Chain A
């Protein structure tokens, strides 16, 4: 391991400790309980051994002594059980509190991550950091707490007790026990490569299955079955071959360590018997040794297990920390004022913007949208309409020039107040898991039911909502399966309608909406646009022709700008596009 990596994991450990610090009282408590548990756990066999010494043979049983020891054992085991349980409770409290803290911290960071991060990373990755990684971390933490400390104490305690009873036998145990760890490690090292091959092959098989079975409709549509089966069989056979090896060799660990244990046990039995004959130890003492010999390897195995688990937990924690350490958005300027709802004028002046510094995109954009004007954005799908949303609502920072809303540069006002001036309805609708009413009121959580209904009516959504099984209280399922795409868009319009922003960013439907709903959406858009400045990603020629200005975009860039007539006269990309759609073939 490189030094850099070590210091990095050191830093991770320090951060984890920092997370645990608020619960240090509980940590001290659990450490104390662990010590107590180990002590009493080790004491019980000693007491049992002594009791055995009171049971020597017919007529040689010391009942008075036995009774005293029985009571002592009873007390010991009750203390053990109680402190073991308490320790478990405290450990799970610490763990789950820490987990909750780290999760909330990560989520809070998610809310201030720049959109550039979110756009560049697939959601699955971040979600798994907040769920799977945190879970693994908590498992490791819990195991670390319960087993690492008790393991070390048990080893030391056992050693101490054995040494006091008979140091020669103790030495034999100490000398032989590590053998089982060596054996375990030897097997682990030699099976590692087999495991890697197995998991690689399995991953290969899984991705093939995901691809082929996941698209079984296509497999059937193209008659690809026999070729699919041939490809599958090759990998499946390969997995069989390496699977048998990996499974068998890895399953050697338990029998082999058990074997070493049995040898230790036999050695203790023989040596102990000789010591007992010599009178160095009693039969009870021998039983203590046998008991310990049986359990001595357990803490070693536990600790080595914990070590891998802890390393994994640290790696997971690091992934969560990496997310938390991502550079957040610049905070609002300290003197940033709140931008009130204004008339809705927007001005781009020599705006320069690039997603990637090396790739030129918008180099010098100038545009003045006066209050109430309609600006149509035209171009093929993926032409860069989101870029405009990104800049207007300051999801991304412009690299040069100025962008003002009602005369205020957008970076001089607070983001929240800037965004309150915009209403956006995109084709990729986003609704929360919640009821219809909750979704409409998303931008105004304190809205009354009357306001919500009024907004829905204006958005032409009221009639379909009332036909839903529970009306406004119908829950919207996760995948939104219970309402159509067009209806989702109507809900998004209602959501904006409730906020009455002066500027709109709208996305006209292309193909996913059915005709009837599309008429409604169109109607609702008209209603919404009354008296508002609107940026419309347009697909309908009528919308484009009626716009005050047309921005023709291609690959993220604005290539032409003007009114319908002006652009036709220019006879450029727009004119070509227009003719290809509407002129006869």
Chain B
């Protein structure tokens, strides 16, 4: 938590002033019952109208001063909390930008989004509430106890007993209902799951005519949920009556004992009324505190989660090196006995990989799911560091390049064709912010996307909706290819990025890349034998090992795994035809 507290920096003044003024306001509120006691004991008793006016005026004054200090407190609390939240959010965002793929995989991007948004908001609200309210209620409770002690030390014991018993009741009820509410939440999750299943799987449910059974399951789940909720309701409905009962029992005892004290002259009538007032104030504030404790503990939990992210250090800091010149005659990519294991994984995902690709060469990478294809190309773009061996790009270790140079050197088209809100131009300029329109059109031509972009009324300025939803899967894929091409990388990686394209477009794309990007080393990762068969070099992966390396025809002869893959997709005659 200490780590989070430093975001108060720059707002220390506000952070101290806010609760101070809040306490001031509480002081004024605590004085009111004493003033009322004076009105009764002095003003009414002595029929002193001037005194009554004076004390009445004092009450108004207290109210005005109370309002002023309260407003001051709210203002500073808002400034401090929002300042805190903004700084925290800013730092968290920057911190996330330093995390490497290893950390991102471990935490998961959806989690990061929640941490950035709702968790930070919770913490911000928590700070705001703590400053405004959390100190106020305990202060009033303690103040009320002290003032009650000042009025009648003998009756203070009664106050202490009532305070303790109410606290215990509140704690007991919250403690009992908490697990029930957790049950209810689980049950509610099941309701959500069933709804989702039946919506997404509507075709299957109907194909098997299971609608009635599904409804039955849903009904039973809901009955169960209702049962839990009613049970929780029964217990939590105890809170108000129980505390009410205790406070009023306290008041009855107060009246009785107070009566005795008044009878012997230790106490006045007005003071009895003041004591009753303090008793009610204690109850109100204990209940308010219980509410607050729940919200603040929620904020604390969020704080812990945000802190987890901030405490996650990147395993791959930016080397921030000078621009490196390619080594004369070195291959574009060279793997020297490369091993790789994902963090926390039992075995290696890549073992002893060795190959080199000359500038301008097309490299096909093929293999089944989990064979290590994506891992291999992730090492080329240095999303991960090899755990053994060397990955060299143009003669330098991948780790020697600054991120800025590395990202311009290697262009990636990921499996998931993801676009961002904005225009087509914004999206194409992701890798190269300075690309001219001419360069963008060139990239679109190669990616087989120029035709449909030209067909859009806005052309390059055509709006792209969230996640590119207003484009078809195939269009999105071609735009992501153009995005990578627009930066004119020396190495281009196509990670199964033609899966949504029909065979004809796929073939045209490969042809265009081959002809129009002279000198570019292209990696084509695919499960389709047809997509890689014309590569200058095909890498065949099986269970993390490189089991074949060479051209299509040679591999068909020498590599059983490659042959198996080809035959599982094409008939024998067709395979022969490709030779």
Contacts and interface: CB of A to CB of B under 8 A. Distances in A.
A256 interface: yes
Nearest to B211: A111
Contacts of B63: 259, 262-263, 266
B204 to A, nearest CB: 5
A216 B248 contact: no
A54 B259 contact: yes
Nearest to B190: A433
B40 A85 contact: no
Contacts of A239: 86
Interface stretch (B234-242, B300-308, B388-396): B234-242
B262 A48 contact: no
Contact of A219 (B97, B260, B264): B97
A66 B255 contact: yes
B292 interface: no
A499 B207 CA distance: 11
Interface in A71-124: 73-74, 77-78, 80-82, 84-85, 87-89, 91-93, 95-97, 99-100, 103-104, 107-108, 110-113, 115, 118, 123
A100 B225 contact: yes
A54 B252 CA distance: 13
Which 6 A-B residue pairs are closest in the complex by CB-CB distance?
A: A88-B237, A92-B233, A514-B368, A380-B502, A262-B63, A223-B407
B368 A61 contact: no
20 contacts: A73-B252, A77-B248, A81-B241, A82-B241, A84-B240, A84-B241, A88-B233, A92-B234, A92-B237, A107-B195, A111-B211, A130-B192, A259-B64, A267-B56, A277-B47, A380-B501, A430-B204, A445-B210, A511-B499, A514-B369
A113 B350 CA distance: 49
B32 A265 contact: yes
Contacts of B25: 255
Given A59-B263, A218-B418, 20 more contacts: A48-B251, A52-B255, A52-B273, A56-B262, A84-B240, A88-B240, A207-B421, A220-B100, A222-B483, A223-B431, A229-B93, A229-B97, A243-B85, A273-B56, A283-B269, A283-B273, A395-B203, A511-B528, A577-B502, A585-B534
Contact of A100 (B215, B226, B474, B501): B226
A577 B255 contact: no
A274 B255 contact: no
A87 B97 CA distance: 54
A419 B86 contact: no
B385 interface: no
A336 interface: no
Interface string A126-141: 1100110001000000
Most chain A beta carbons < 10 A, residue from B56, B59, B204, B280: B204
A93 B234 CA distance: 9
Contacts of B52: 270, 273-274, 277
A259 B109 CA distance: 47
Interface residues of A, number: 156
A256 B43 contact: no
A252 B457 CA distance: 50
A540 to B, nearest CB: 6
Given A222-B430, A236-B86, A443-B208, A585 B507 contact: yes
Given A80-B244, A419-B208, A283 B109 contact: no
B319 to A, nearest CB: 13
B238 A233 contact: no
- DSSP class of A's interface residues: helix, strand, loop or mixed? helix
A135 B184 CA distance: 12
A244 interface: yes
Which of A88, A221, A243 is the most central at the interface, judged by chain B CB atoms within 10 Å of its CB?
A221
A506 interface: no
B74 A215 contact: no
A131 B59 contact: no
Given A70-B256, A107-B218, A248-B78, A89 B233 contact: yes
A275 B37 CA distance: 16
Interface string B367-382: 0111100000000010
Contacts of A240: 82-83, 85-86
A221 B259 contact: no
Contact of A209 (B113, B430, B474): B113
Contacts of A485: 369
B207 A393 contact: yes
A126 B104 contact: no
A315 B86 CA distance: 33
B570 interface: yes
Interface in B394-448: 403-404, 407-408, 412, 414, 418, 420-421, 430-431, 433
Given A58-B265, A123-B196, A211-B420, A252 B74 contact: yes
Given A229-B93, A248-B75, A262-B32, A269 B59 contact: yes
A585 B206 contact: no
Interface stretch (B65-73, B144-152, B157-165, B337-345): B65-73
A232 B70 CA distance: 34
Given A80-B244, A266-B56, A277-B47, A210 B215 contact: no
A213 B113 contact: yes
B112 interface: yes
Nearest to A72: B252
Given A55-B272, A56-B269, A277-B47, A61 B82 contact: no
Contacts of B558: none
B79 interface: yes
Given A84-B241, A269-B59, A416-B209, A123 B44 contact: no
Contact of B244 (A77, A89, A433, A541): A77
Interface in B262-282: 262-265, 268-270, 272-273, 276-277, 280
Contacts of A270: 39, 52-53, 56, 59
B59 A210 contact: no
B263 A58 contact: yes
B132 interface: yes
A96 B79 CA distance: 41
Contacts of A111: 198, 205, 211, 214-215
A95 B433 CA distance: 57
A464 interface: no
B255 A48 contact: yes
A80 B243 CA distance: 12
A482 interface: no
A445 B217 CA distance: 13
Contacts of A99: 226
Contact of B245 (A81, A244, A420): A81
A300 B252 CA distance: 28
A20 to B, nearest CB: 15
Contacts of B55: 269
Nearest to A87: B237
B554 interface: no
Interface in B503-561: 503-504, 507, 510-511, 526-528, 530, 534
Given A61-B259, A211-B466, A96 B230 contact: yes
Interface in A257-315: 258-259, 262-263, 265-267, 269-270, 273-274, 276-277, 283, 286-287, 290, 294
A277 B49 contact: yes
Contact of B504 (A55, A515, A576): A576
Interface stretch (A368-376, A516-524, A526-534): A516-524
B574 interface: yes
A261 B128 CA distance: 24
A432 B121 CA distance: 35
Given A92-B233, A255-B74, A433 B202 contact: no
Contacts of A89: 230, 233-234, 237
A311 B209 CA distance: 39
Given A248-B74, A252-B74, A216 B99 contact: yes
B89 interface: yes
A267 B412 CA distance: 75
Interface in A189-221: 202, 205-207, 209-221
Interface string B32-49: 100110011001100101
